[in-house]
Structure 1
Amino acid sequence: MIKIRNYETKDAAITWELKFNTIRNINVRDYTLAQTKAWAPDHFDMKLWQKRINDMNPFIAELNGKVVGFADLQSDGYIDHFFCHSEYQGFGVGRALMEHILAIGISNGVSRFYSQVSLTARTFYEHFGFKVVNEQSIEVQDEKLTNFVMEKII
């Protein structure tokens, strides 16, 4: 059974590793190697990640005590990060995280959920009722990546 819990500072390294491996092993299906290396660089300052993830304060998904995903929900309904472990795709991790985020958001009065969604995650978000607002090209480390602004209105 997938357990969703609150983030703890000690989760920073494992969340970076999970994000890195998911981008490099899953998102590489929809983006070039150069794009995924820009998005998840080989060398990244862990102090910067620690600050970013502490500020993001995500929810952590665990399966049998192992961190298998994480996602955040900001007070305005913005989902900044949503990652499922590359080896646990199709196990219900994403569903558990999304259902948790939506329930928490609704209980806190969020009526619009939105995110910048990768090519890889677009169909997942659509499954939960998100609609594409617009397609965009963002620049990361001199690489252009296509993604979608998607939203769900409650």
Structure 2
Amino acid sequence: MNMHAPNKTTDITFRPATVTDIPELKELFCSTVLTVNVRDYTAEEAADWASCGNRLGHWEKLMATLHFIAACDAEGHIVGFTSIRNDGYLHSMFVHKDHQGEGIATALLQRIEAYAMEHGICDITSEVSITARPFFERRGYVVEQEQRAQANRLKLTNYIMKKQLKKI
């Protein structure tokens, strides 16, 4: 009997996220921060960070200024998402707490990098959590600076990371 989990990314489809997805994106963001990122942040820090997703108009503003890609399971539920600004700022990369380690973040990152190259973006920068730093480092991103970034009420440690995309 094979004890390894199958590669579930074969069941995943990718599509642009829209304003109708906001409730699902918001829930995924909050639950991921509160369950996954709490490994590297205190419960108080994680709760403060998660509360940023509850600001009125926050998601609508993000949808108006960013290109979002959603990863959906076979039933159409969003299991991950990423977003990028036209200047190459990677704003978000979150995978559902129940779908960690399935290759979804890697697939999302490949798609957002391809989108960036198609739109003439040569450098991607991001503010990356302690939790996500190893993931991004394995994919060629380099820490430019450690910082204390404002979440809601608190300042949390994260890293400004950058990757220069290879021209095709």
- TM-score normalised by structure 2 residue count: 0.85
The residue that corresponds to 1:148 in the other structure is 159
Query: Share of identical aligned residues, percent?
Result: 34
Q: Secondary structure at the match of 2:79?
A: strand
Letter in 1 for 2:83: D
Measured in 1, the distance between the counterparts of 2:33 and 2:63 equals 17
Aligned length: 154
- Separation in 2 of the partners of 1:77 and 1:55? 12
TM alignment of 1:66-145, pairs within 5 A: 66-145=77-156
Structure 1 unpaired stretches of 5+: none
TM-score (norm 1): 0.93
| Higher deviation after alignment, 85-94 or 137-146 | 137-146
Residue 6 of structure 2 corresponds to none
Question: Rg larger in 1 or in 2?
Answer: 2
Kept in 1, the 8 Å contact 2:84–2:91? The answer is: yes
Q: Could you report, residue by residue, the CA deviation over 1:55-99 in whole angstroms, capped at 9, with x for unpaired residues?
A: 324111112122001101211111011111110001111011000
Q: Which runs of 5+ in 2 are unaligned?
A: 1-9
Change beyond 3 A, Cα 1:130–1:143? same
Q: State whether residues 9 and 54 of structure 1, in contact with CA within 8 Å, keep that contact through their aligned partners in structure 2.
A: no
- Over aligned residues, Cα RMSD in angstroms? 1.6
